[in-house]
Amino acid sequence: MNTSLHAGTPIKIAILAMGGQGGGVLADWIVDMAEHAQWWAQATSVPGVAQRTGATVYYVELMPEAAVQAAGKPPTLAMMPTAGDVDLVVAAELMEGGRALQRGFVTPDRTVLISSSHRSYAVGEKAAHGNGIADPNKVIEAGREIAKRFFCFDLQALADEAGSVISASLFGAIAGSGSLPFAREDYEATIRRAGVGVNASLRAFGAGHHAAASAPAAPAAIDTSRPLPVLPDTAAHPRTRQMLEELKRDFPPEAQPMMLAGLRRILEFQDLRYGREYLDHMRDIRELDAQFGGTAKSWALTAAAARYVAVAMAYDDVIRVADLKTRGARFERVRQEVGAAQDQLVYTTEYMHPRLEEICGTMPAFLGRRIENSPALSRYLGRFFRKGKFLRSGTLSGFLMLYALAGMRRFRRSTLRHKIEMRSLHNWLKLISDTVHHDYDLAVEVVNCRRLVKGYSDTHARGDSKYQRLTLAASQLLGSADAASRLRALRDAALADDKGNKLDAMLEQELRPAN
């Protein structure tokens, strides 16, 4: 016999989305649009548990009705995308676009890739101790290389602006990309037929359409750099003006922007005198830096210290939290963040849970210490701080309490917490100074170890304990070869888990020969 094969090739579309993003809605829209334009459409999916935040693929194939007529029987379309055999890939999030590339759905000869550039971080990225965010530009680079045409812009933001959802802006981007043989009217009629939130969807559709229609041939890289403050020419107050001038005159340009950020933090944390103290500490470090070869190393020590000396001096205490929570700018920011309209009122409830340690910390040193040293007193007072304090900062009683607490900044220097922090600061500065005499690079790493100290209560205690272990390691590593890189490895290990198990395991290995 002779088998006769018929002409007619379907358009193959894969949609990659996360559960709840409306990938199914988008697939339904494409099917509905195609069927109304006299096409044969088939869509499949494997929702399963992916409905609950996981990633999933919706797959659509479209065949012109004319081809079906010519063949005389319905088409047999595939139930899943095949690597290397997809015409249009739509990703509702950047890393899902990356997943499409990784799975081979995109090929240079035929695949148009449309991906939103926004990120919805995976739980692994969010839960990391430090910065676990994946590099978005790896996906952009791969997309530019592999796709026939790559559209990449923030379709989530466009949808948000329009008060709609991403499926609408994605639908618009498909239309604007011109990758499917349908007219804009076909798309818009589909949205109207769906009949839910039509106007907002049409706005989002229009924005997506415009973005795709006017997109560059290849998307630009995403700017992931973190801008540093620019030094102002002058300052209002004569004494801050003088500090600014000293900063410009006495410190290397490499460290100036970070020092400016640090100085600003110090000033708002306490007062002018405290700013002066910061500059004094920095001057000591700059001198050490110059003495031990900093000029050849782009002043790495001063630059690193610029950040961490400021962070160490402007520690997180109850006074600072109360101050930050009661500022006018903060009230405005909250309104914006929750999207409150002009005629709506916004009240915030603060979830504070100071422990007895924090309370003692804000007391005059002698008093705080007395309580901490007396188990009976601690037990008695501790009872009052077992429960969290939920304060409503928009009411008068709540606000005044926090405001008064913030006003305690003028007594801060006499508090127990300040004494503790200053001792820690001085020990650390001494360690830096001792280290730099022998090993410049290790001294820089000692500075960076301060990254571990952050947060409040339990978080602070955990971080501080890791930091203590690291500083101990630093003094033991002193004198050994590549001590700096070994300390850096230990610091990375300290960020790997909560309790510092990995750090302990590595420490044991690292320091055994030294013992």
Please give the residues from 301 up to 340 whose contact with other proteins meets the rule CB under 8 A: 307, 310-311, 316, 321, 323-331, 334, 337-340
For residue 513, the minimal CB distance to other proteins (Å) is 32
Structure tokens at 302: 């001063």
What is the phi/psi pair of residue 339, to 5°?
A: 65, 40
Nearest residue (CB) to other proteins, 209 versus 451:
451
* Other CB atoms within 10 A of residue 75 CB: 17
Residue 128 binds to other proteins (criterion: CB under 8 A): yes
Site map (CB under 8 A) of other proteins, residues 136-165, x = contact? --xx--x--xx-------------x-----
Residue type, 237: H
Among 36, 125, 210, 372, the residue binding other proteins under the rule CB under 8 A is 125
- Nearest CA-CA partner of 164 in 205, 200, 191: 200
Distance CA 264, CA 237 (A): 13
346 binds other proteins (CB under 8 A): yes
In the complex, what is the shortest distance from the CB of residue 220 to other proteins, in angstroms, rounded to a whole number? 18
Residues 10-49 that bind other proteins (CB under 8 A): 10, 18-20, 28, 31, 35, 41-49
Buried b (16+ CB within 10 A) or exposed e, 168-197: bbbbbbbbbbebbebeeebbbbbbeebeeb
Residue 271 within binding range of other proteins, rule CB under 8 A: yes
Residue type, 298: S
Interface stretch with other proteins, choices 72-80, 175-183, 206-214, 368-376 (CB under 8 A): 72-80
Query: Is residue 292 near other proteins by the rule CB under 8 A?
Result: no
405, 322 in Cβ contact below 8 A?
yes
The Cα 429–Cα 285 span in angstroms is 8
503 binds other proteins (CB under 8 A): no
Q: 338 burial class (0-12, 13-18, 19+ CB within 10 angstroms)?
A: exposed
- Asked if residue 221 binds other proteins (CB under 8 A), the reply is no
Q: According to the binding rule CB under 8 A, does residue 351 interact with other proteins? A: yes
Which 79-98 positions form the footprint of other proteins (CB under 8 A)? 79-80, 82-85, 95, 98
Is residue 244 at the binding interface for other proteins, with CB under 8 A as the rule?
yes
Q: Which of residues 358-387 bind other proteins (CB under 8 A)?
A: none
H-state helical runs in 111-197: 123-127, 136-146, 155-161, 166-177, 184-194
Q: Which residues, numbered 427-486, are part of the site for other proteins (CB under 8 A)?
A: 451, 454-460, 463
Q: Is 264 in the site for other proteins (CB under 8 A)?
A: yes
What are the backbone angles phi and psi of residue 148, rounded to the nearest 5°? -65, -45
